[in-house]
């Protein structure tokens, strides 16, 4: 078996920042209960590791005692959650990825200028929920080409025809780049004056998808390491499939079934932006245990993006 290990893969700068922040918080507030609103990142290994350290992941602030330490995950939160946290005098440490915050800012800016925002994303995903919460009445969420086409004949929640509005388009950071471009093209055809924001781009999503798109052509099958609720990991799996190979999303090495590789010579391995490198290495070790393996790591694009940790960490410890 020949393994092509994709580079870039795994942790992006936003995930690195969130995980390092929580590590700092756990160390500095070792004598306090730490709450994290939503999974810190969508990865079973990362979440389980912090749970073992006593971190409590929550989906509502209701049960959190006043003055507690609460972290917001990399996916961001709505203004309503921020207000609730202020009312309870919570010590908030905000690990929202700066690229997600940039989309929130763009939504606010468009809405202030009187635009209605078409948001391409998955309704219900943590990131989409937080972003839409910035202006729920002035945002419409769509996730497919058909939904984009339907808008021509539809009206907003405020009963206004879309064609009569100043429209702007923003999107979730972890979508398929090519699928999103197709939806954007349909929006442009229907609403020639729609403004497409340039604040959506996430270098990590683009780079990981581009690398799989290029390298999957050289492989017979693909393993994508990441959790099922990780949007960007699922997109990587789909992109490999679009290149005509069977692609499997796995959380970790235990799930690997040697029969998957019967008749396969070349296996592509990558990892979603929230999957830790030690899980990738344990998957490689398991394949080594089963097969006679040759191995190459192919760098499609260099990455050097680093985000500094939230300043609140220092503030609350002084
Ligand atoms: S995938 Fe992009 S937007 Fe999401 S956390 Fe990583 S860097 Fe930030």
Q: Is 85 in the pocket of ligand 1 (CB under 6 A)?
A: no
CA of 273 to the centre of ligand 1 (A): 7
Ligand 1 lined by 120 (C-beta under 6 Å): no
Probe target for ligand 1 pocket from 21, 76, 94, 99, with the most ligand atoms within 8 Å of CB: 99
pLDDT for residue 315 = 76
Chain centre to alpha carbon of residue 284: 24
Ligand 1 contacts CB of residue 55 (under 6 A): no
Q: Whose CA is nearest to atom 6 of ligand 1?
A: 14
Predicted local confidence at residue 316, as pLDDT: 72
> What are 158's two structure tokens?
């405020």
d(CA 170, CA 208): 20
Pick the residue whose CA is nearest to atom 8 on ligand 1: 14
Angle at 13 between CA 314 and CA 20, to 5 degrees: 40
Token digits of residue 286: 């398991």
pLDDT recorded at residue 318: 57
Distance of CA 185 to CAs 63, 141, 156, 178, 191, Å? 45, 16, 21, 11, 10
Cβ 175 under 6 angstroms from ligand 1 = no
Cβ count within 10 A of residue 75: 28
What is the distance in A from the centroid of ligand 1 to the CA of 64? 27
13 Cβ below 6 A of ligand 1: yes
Nearest ligand 1 atom to alpha carbon 98: 8
> Is the CB of 100 within 6 Å of ligand 1?
yes
Distance 201 CA to ligand 1 centre (A): 9
Q: Which two tokens stand for residue 213?
A: 């798109």
Per-residue pLDDT in tens (0 to 9) along the chain, 318 residues: 999 999 999 999 999 999 999 999 999 888 889 999 999 999 999 999 999 999 999 999 998 999 999 999 999 999 999 999 999 999 999 999 999 999 999 999 999 999 999 999 999 999 999 999 999 999 999 999 999 999 999 999 999 999 999 999 999 998 889 999 999 999 999 999 999 998 878 999 999 999 999 999 999 999 999 999 999 999 999 999 999 999 999 999 999 999 999 999 999 999 999 999 999 999 999 999 999 999 999 999 999 999 999 988 877 765
Cross-strand partners of 294: 2
Residue 25 and residue 73 in contact, taking contact as beta carbons nearer than 8 Å = no
How far does residue 181's CA lie from ligand 1's centre (Å)? 19
- Residue 169's H or E segment, with its range, is strand 167-171
Tokens read off for 180: 């999103």
DSSP string, 61-115: STTSPTT-EEEE-TT---HHHHHHHHHTT-EEEE---HHHHHHHHHHHHHHHTTP
Residue 147: which residues within 8 A CB-CB, separation 6 or more?
none
The pTM is what?
0.94
Q: How far is CA 184 from CA 37, 144, 222, 305, in A?
A: 32, 10, 29, 27
| 24 in catalytic set | no
Q: Which of 39, 84, 127, 134 is catalytic?
A: 127
Q: Which two tokens stand for residue 172?
A: 């979730």
> Distance of CA 168 to CAs 106, 119, 132, 206, 239, Å?
10, 8, 14, 21, 27
**Residue 11: predicted pLDDT:** 98
Domains of the chain, first to last: 2-11+203-299 (3.40.1010.20), 13-97+307-317 (3.40.50.11270), 99-196 (3.40.1010.20)
Tokens for 148, please give them: 């984009």
| Rounded distance between C-alpha atoms, residue 54 and residue 156, angstroms | 44
């Amino acid at each position: 078996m020949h393994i092509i290990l994709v580079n870039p893969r795994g942790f992006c700068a936003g995930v690195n920042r969130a995980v390092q922040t929580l590590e700092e918080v756990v160390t500095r507030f070792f004598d306090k209960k730490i709450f994290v609103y939503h999974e810190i990142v969508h990865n079973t290994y990362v979440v389980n590791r912090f749970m073992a350290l006593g971190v409590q992941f929550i989906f509502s602030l209701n049960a959190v005692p006043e003055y507690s330490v609460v972290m917001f995950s990399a996916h961001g939160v709505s203004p309503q959650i921020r207000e609730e946290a202020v009312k309870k005098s919570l010590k908030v440490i905000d690990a929202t990825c700066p690229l997600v915050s940039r989309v929130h800012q763009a939504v606010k800016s468009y809405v202030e200028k009187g635009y209605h925002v078409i948001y391409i994303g998955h309704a219900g995903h943590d990131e989409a929920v937080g972003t839409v919460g910035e202006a729920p009445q002035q945002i419409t969420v769509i996730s497919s080409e058909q939904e984009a086409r339907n808008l021509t004949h539809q009206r907003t929640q405020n009963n206004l025809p879309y064609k009569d509005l100043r429209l702007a388009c923003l999107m979730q950071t972890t979508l398929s780049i090519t699928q999103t471009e197709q939806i954007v093209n349909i929006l442009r055809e229907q609403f020639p004056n729609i403004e497409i924001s340039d604040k959506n781009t996430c270098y990590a999503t683009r780079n990981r998808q581009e690398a799989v798109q290029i390298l999957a052509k050289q492989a017979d099958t693909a393993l994508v390491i990441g959790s099922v609720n990780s949007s960007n990991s699922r997109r990587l799996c789909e992109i490999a499939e679009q290149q005509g190979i069977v692609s499997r999303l796995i959380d970790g090495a235990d799930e690997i079934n040697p029969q998957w590789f019967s008749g396969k010579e070349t296996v592509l391995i990558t990892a979603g932006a929230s999957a830790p490198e030690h899980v990738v290495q344990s998957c490689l070790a398991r394949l080594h245990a089963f097969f006679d393996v040759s191995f190459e790591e192919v760098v499609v694009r260099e990455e050097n993006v680093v985000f500094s940790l939230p300043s609140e960490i220092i503030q609350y410890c002084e």
